[in-house]
Structure 1
Amino acid sequence: MTESNGSDARDQRDQQEQEVRAAQQERMPDWEKRFRAPRVSLPDWAEDAPDRSLFVSNATGTYELYAWDRKTGEQRQVTDRPNGTTDGVLSPDGAWIWWFDDKDGDEFGVWRRQPFAGGADELAAEGLDASYPAGLALGRDGRTAVIGRSTDEDGTTIHLVRTGEEPVEIYRHRESAGVGDLSHDGSLIAIEHTEHGDAMHSALRVLRTDGTPVADLDDTEGGTRELGLEVLGFAPVDGDTRLLIGHQRRGRWEPLVWDVASGEETDLALELPGDVSAEWYPDGTGLLIAHSFEARSELFRYDLASRALTEIPTPPGTVSGATARPDGSVEYLWSSAAEPSAVRSTSGGVVLDPPGMKSPGSVPVEDVWVEGPGGRIHALVQKPEGSSGPLPTVFDIHGGPTWHDSDSFAAGPAAWVDHGYAVIRVNYRGSTGYGRAWTDALKHRVGLIELEDIAAVREWAVTSGLADPDRLVLTGGSWGGYLTLLGLGVQPDAWSLGIAAVPVADYVTAYHDEMEALKAMDRTLLGGTPEEVPDRFEASSPLTYVDRVKAPVYISAGVNDPRCPIRQIENYVKRLEARGAVHEVYRYDAGHGSLVVDERIKQVRLELEFAERHLKK
């Protein structure tokens, strides 16, 4: 065969393979395409080498880290692990990519690093044993790192690590803490801590690199006030001691600038409803403002000298991440319930468009406000185009609990809509984005307060004619999975079916088996340990009400999950089995969810099939 004939044969095979893939995609349902379509995160970029970026993508079918040289256009897959990798940081000089290496999703591991241009991975911090991560900050000198670690034995420790030297412990406490940021010149370290015992509301401390304190800021007053602070970043200027922080002094998240050397605080006092966050522009003269209100978000530039606030135009929907580039442009990750996510730029167009199949869109979301026992509840509703009720309806409950559903693209709810269901997502008390009081309202009656809000929205959905009361599905993952199991027992006549992913099922056993940071959170939510406040744990545990469950139950669980461990789920399942309750359990080899696309599609398919088998026609 001549060289020309060989080339023609290869071209023909390539053409045939492309035609086969195109035919497979044509037959694939839209709901599956949404999961398989390649997507990317907002690219992070190196402070001193802005042409070097790092992002996450599912292009290979598993979420992994990718290096992107913007100057040459070259993209390179950095990690390749069976269960995926999403935790990575680019060093300020752009020379190294740090990534967290755990075992099969158990979140317990070590930091490794790899040269940006490629090469062998190496242990990034010799002398530090495996732990749960508690923050990471990398120095501009190329040899300094500040590493936060959390273990059951030590609580939280923070170490200063320099290449060629032994790690030096600069902070230790039994309560949860984390690395916030390292100053531009590498002389100051900001940490968030909860030494006062309230894991929901952090205080701040700034340390020198030898661990000696420089300044403290604590809005909790020893835990007597429920006000939190967060580190947003040091000013990007050598010798500048200004630290951008978030505070809750007016009942919502807002930014202010704290000079840790002089103690001066500059409150921006922005007249924007809802939560406000910020990050520095690269020259330190302004702030990129991210404003979230009633499930949507928008961007602004704030000039520190003139105190002028200028809107940065973005489409209606949700900006889930944004960054200001050295040229003054802003890149942001945007989506809406109807339109898939894209990385856009104020300089025009899509910044990073992955090749391959494009995700189908979905239906837009509608806003509903329902009067509830604790105030007006915001719910987001999607339903099949042209449909009219009453419809089989899925209450898809978000996790967290300190999180909220927004007008953003989500493949899971869209799959239910494709199959003829209405989908309702409830931003119950405990959700973020509606003020501090709304977020903090669930303390001590954990789970029960959220269910009161969900019940109020359920009542609206039925009486409005949208939802068929005989075909109501309660579902969610993580905290949403917990509320699903709790709801099936506390409200047994309200739900036709329950689908819980990686849930808390037995609160006492979950507390004893979970990672230390979550134990601290549970002590804050419930006011103590199971031994100290047994009645509260019992009242908030799905296991307490398992014998009242009437609806068929589907549970999926990761066998390596450190957040909702498998033993406490098995305890709940045994109780279902003992009374012959209709249930199915799916266990998979990963942690708190899966980063593998095929596995995620399998889980959704099993959920859809379970609903199809058990809902009344």
Structure 2
Amino acid sequence: MPHDTTGDMPHDTPSDVDDMTSSADGAADPGARPDWEKRFLAPRILMPEWAEDAPERALYISNVTGTYEFYAWDRATGARRQVTDRPNGTTDGTLSPDGEWIWWFSDTDGDEFGTWVRQPFTGGDDEPATPGLAPAYPEGLAIGRDGTSVVGRSTDEEGSTVFVCRPGAAPVEIYRHRETAVVGDLSHDCTLVAIEHTEHGDSMHASLRVLTLDGRTVAELDDTKDGTEELGLSVLGFAPVAGDTRLLVCHQRSGRWEPMIWDVAAGTQQQLEIDLPGDVGAQWYPDGSALLVSHGFEARSELWRYDLAERSLVRVDTPPGTVSDAAARPDGTVEYLWSSAAEPSSVRSTAGGVVLELPGEKAPGSVPVEDVWVDGPGGRIHALAQRPQGHGDGPFPCVFEVHGGPTWHDSDAFAAGPAAWLDHGFAVVRVNYRGSTGYGREWTDALKHRVGLIELEDVAAVREWAVASGLADPARLVLSGGSWGGYLTLLGLGTQPEAWAVGLASVPVADYVTAYHDEMETLKALDRTLFGGTPEEQPERWAASSPLTYVDAVRAPLYIAAGVNDPRCPIRQVENYVERLAARGAVHEVYRYDAGHGSLVVAERIKQLRLELDFALKHLPR
């Protein structure tokens, strides 16, 4: 995911107004607010993580104070307390296996550059978790039962490094390379660490290496060696059993993501009999006897239990929609974070009911999605369409909300941003263009070299369907997106200027060459993979895919939001684009906010979405 943040944090188009605060901060009567604001303000909880050896100690992220922060939860007593409290929020953290410590990553105002700190689970002062390590971008973390930690990090100067940190000792470097590497997992007995690396130069398809904690290579798995196919691997986790050298990994050998078990000591690979369409992931049950299988197909997901001894696959009962995170408890029950486009998210259990309820007004529901399949230049395109309720039969003003990534996909999941447009009488269409995950390796990898242009061909095909079907008014089409979606918005306004009436771009790539020189090193590596080289090595490809190349062709009024501390889509390249717009008197507005790649502050999200709504309603034809 080159230019997006990862994880389950909501990636609604950010928004807020200076006088907006959450109800927890003493705002006006929430009942007076419109539904679209209530969806942002409603208390939300993400999937709790529990300590492996102390499963009654849990850690979760919530927006209950108006900013997404970490909370400790003692499941035995029900006691909960806020762990972090920072102006721009905190969402990168974990528990030590014994449940004694909460680790969280401390950056500056969303710039993603910093160090790990830790705090006792029961409360107390923060302290450096990895003393002796200088600030860097985080590239994975594994914490052992003996107090050892393995820390992945990257800087523009050093590339990727991996350090072993032990209590009372200086950090020891065990790995270094200019290309991207990420810490995957540490074995149960703290003797082996698995890393994903791209030393071969293809940042979209990682290879695996298992090292001892003194840096000696134990085993390697590389599906790129013969050069005939570009296949990736990822680490899913070591078996949760002492002395067990089985590593659960994901591979793409059959044209999709699916799991297998690699015994790194024996050198054996166990293929799993999981006959499901679409992408398949997995994680261990706590005793190592089974796998919890996550299955994503055509914008929905579901869970299965795979018994390793019997090689049997049994469905885990979940409602239709999207399971965005899940884990098996020691008693065999499964907890999962679920939502659909019509129903807000909740953490549920196969034992029945919601796992944890937060006080406060519940988020209003929204409109179900309709599946749309359109023949495109690269094959059938899957899109999700929503019609506003109570606004007639159409055609409607229509927002094409383009997802980020690009290796991501829109799904039948709840999102406050699209729901707000529906409330205002807009139809919403989301396109899983080439580059999206969930439709096979070839679909995901198709955007190379014609970056951005491939995706927009698919958006154009779905746009034609939306107009021809009577859903969308061709004179009132809005192109909108954040991160990679913001990039596609700017590129689409320049390459398809007659198609769009308004553009809304949040944290976009605008001047791709300048973005490359200013962005974090791991994204530079990914961009070299996408374009087949640097801007100096492939100048024509970079120029053809940069929105700045087409800025003078933009005709639609354009709103841009940008974080001044953004390391993924840095501010200087946005300013270059805006200067060109201003020089020719193009209609545009720019909102700059003091954060990084998006905001974790609820009021800020509301503000930005209100600015987008006001801009679109002001400039769309009546």
Could you say which TM-score interval applies, normalised by the shorter chain?
over 0.9
**Structure 1: which amino acid aligns with 2:572?**
R
Aligned to 2:356: 352
Aligned to 1:157: 161
Tell me if structure 1 keeps the 8 A contact 2:376–2:461: yes
Aligned to 1:289: 293
Aligned to 2:148: 144
1:42 and 2:68 equivalent? no
Q: 1:70 aligns with which of 75, 78, 95?
A: 75
Q: 1:104 aligns with which of 109, 131, 149?
A: 109
1:606 and 2:611 equivalent? yes
Superposed, 1:57-456 pairs within 5 Å as: 57-141=62-146, 143-221=147-225, 224-386=228-390, 387-456=392-461
Tell me if structure 1 keeps the 8 A contact 2:285–2:291: yes
Runs of 4+ in structure 1 off by over 6 angstroms are 18-23
> What does the per-residue CA deviation read over 1:475-523, in whole Å, with 9 as the maximum and x for residues that have no partner?
0000000000000000000000000000000000000000000000000
Query: Structure 1 residue 384: deviation in Å?
Result: 1.0
Distance 1:357 1:216 in 2: 51
Distance 2:299 2:24 in 1: 41
Tell me if structure 1 keeps the 8 A contact 2:297–2:439: yes
SS at match of 1:570: helix
Distance 2:194 2:486 in 1: 35
Tell me if structure 2 keeps the 8 A contact 1:501–1:555: yes
Distance 2:226 2:169 in 1: 37
Q: 2:527 aligns with which of 501, 522, 529?
A: 522
SS at match of 2:29: helix
Q: 1:463 aligns with which of 460, 468, 472?
A: 468
Tell me if structure 2 keeps the 8 A contact 1:198–1:223: no
Q: 1:543 aligns with which of 526, 540, 548?
A: 548
**Structure 2: which amino acid aligns with 1:283?**
D
Q: Using a 3 Å threshold, how does the CA distance of structure 1 residues 453 and 70 change in structure 2: closer, same or farther?
A: same
Distance 1:224 1:522 in 2: 21
Tell me if structure 1 keeps the 8 A contact 2:282–2:293: yes
Distance 1:34 1:493 in 2: 34
Aligned to 1:27: 32
Q: Using a 3 Å threshold, how does the CA distance of structure 1 residues 20 and 443 change in structure 2: closer, same or farther?
A: closer
Distance 1:342 1:354 in 2: 10
Query: Structure 1 residue 225: deviation in Å?
Result: 2.1
Q: What TM-score comes out, normalization by structure 2 length?
A: 0.95
Tell me if structure 1 keeps the 8 A contact 2:66–2:603: yes
Distance 1:475 1:238 in 2: 50
> What does the per-residue CA deviation read over 1:258-294, in whole Å, with 9 as the maximum and x for residues that have no partner?
0000111111131100000000000000000000000
**Structure 1: which amino acid aligns with 2:400?**
F
Tell me if structure 1 keeps the 8 A contact 2:278–2:295: yes
Q: Using a 3 Å threshold, how does the CA distance of structure 1 residues 100 and 223 change in structure 2: closer, same or farther?
A: farther
Distance 2:393 2:376 in 1: 25
SS at match of 2:182: strand
Structure 2: segments with no counterpart, 5+ residues: 1-22
Aligned to 2:599: 594
Q: 2:498 aligns with which of 493, 500, 513?
A: 493
**Structure 2: which amino acid aligns with 1:447?**
G
Distance 2:152 2:414 in 1: 33
**Structure 2: which amino acid aligns with 1:409?**
F
SS at match of 1:454: helix
SS at match of 1:388: coil
Distance 1:379 1:298 in 2: 19
SS at match of 2:110: coil
1:569 and 2:541 equivalent? no
**Structure 2: which amino acid aligns with 1:494?**
A
Distance 1:360 1:239 in 2: 49
Tell me if structure 1 keeps the 8 A contact 2:400–2:430: yes
Tell me if structure 1 keeps the 8 A contact 2:24–2:64: no
SS at match of 2:355: strand
**Structure 2: which amino acid aligns with 1:51?**
E
1:53 and 2:58 equivalent? yes
**Structure 1: which amino acid aligns with 2:185?**
D
Distance 2:130 2:511 in 1: 37
Query: Structure 1 residue 20: deviation in Å?
Result: 13
**Structure 2: which amino acid aligns with 1:219?**
D
Query: Structure 1 residue 126: deviation in Å?
Result: 0.9
SS at match of 1:199: coil
Distance 1:283 1:548 in 2: 60
**Structure 2: which amino acid aligns with 1:467?**
A
Superposed, 1:469-488 pairs within 5 Å as: 469-488=474-493
Distance 1:395 1:254 in 2: 31
Aligned to 1:3: none
Q: Using a 3 Å threshold, how does the CA distance of structure 1 residues 316 and 150 change in structure 2: closer, same or farther?
A: same
Tell me if structure 2 keeps the 8 A contact 1:561–1:591: yes
Distance 2:293 2:569 in 1: 34
Higher relative contact order (CA 8 A, sep 6+): 2
Tell me if structure 1 keeps the 8 A contact 2:24–2:66: no
Distance 1:282 1:411 in 2: 34
Q: Using a 3 Å threshold, how does the CA distance of structure 1 residues 223 and 160 change in structure 2: closer, same or farther?
A: farther
Distance 2:48 2:224 in 1: 35
Query: Structure 1 residue 315: deviation in Å?
Result: 0.3
Q: Which has the larger radius of gyration?
A: 1
SS at match of 2:443: helix
Query: Structure 1 residue 302: deviation in Å?
Result: 0.2
Distance 2:46 2:458 in 1: 33
Distance 2:498 2:230 in 1: 36
Tell me if structure 1 keeps the 8 A contact 2:389–2:425: no
**Structure 2: which amino acid aligns with 1:586?**
Y
Q: Using a 3 Å threshold, how does the CA distance of structure 1 residues 522 and 223 change in structure 2: closer, same or farther?
A: farther
Distance 1:490 1:576 in 2: 15
> What does the per-residue CA deviation read over 1:214-238, in whole Å, with 9 as the maximum and x for residues that have no partner?
0000001165521000000000000
**Structure 2: which amino acid aligns with 1:353?**
E
Distance 2:27 2:262 in 1: 56
**Structure 2: which amino acid aligns with 1:252?**
R
Distance 1:230 1:19 in 2: 40
**Structure 2: which amino acid aligns with 1:108?**
F
Q: What TM-score comes out, normalization by structure 1 length?
A: 0.96
> What does the per-residue CA deviation read over 1:313-358, in whole Å, with 9 as the maximum and x for residues that have no partner?
1000000000000000000000000000000000110001111111
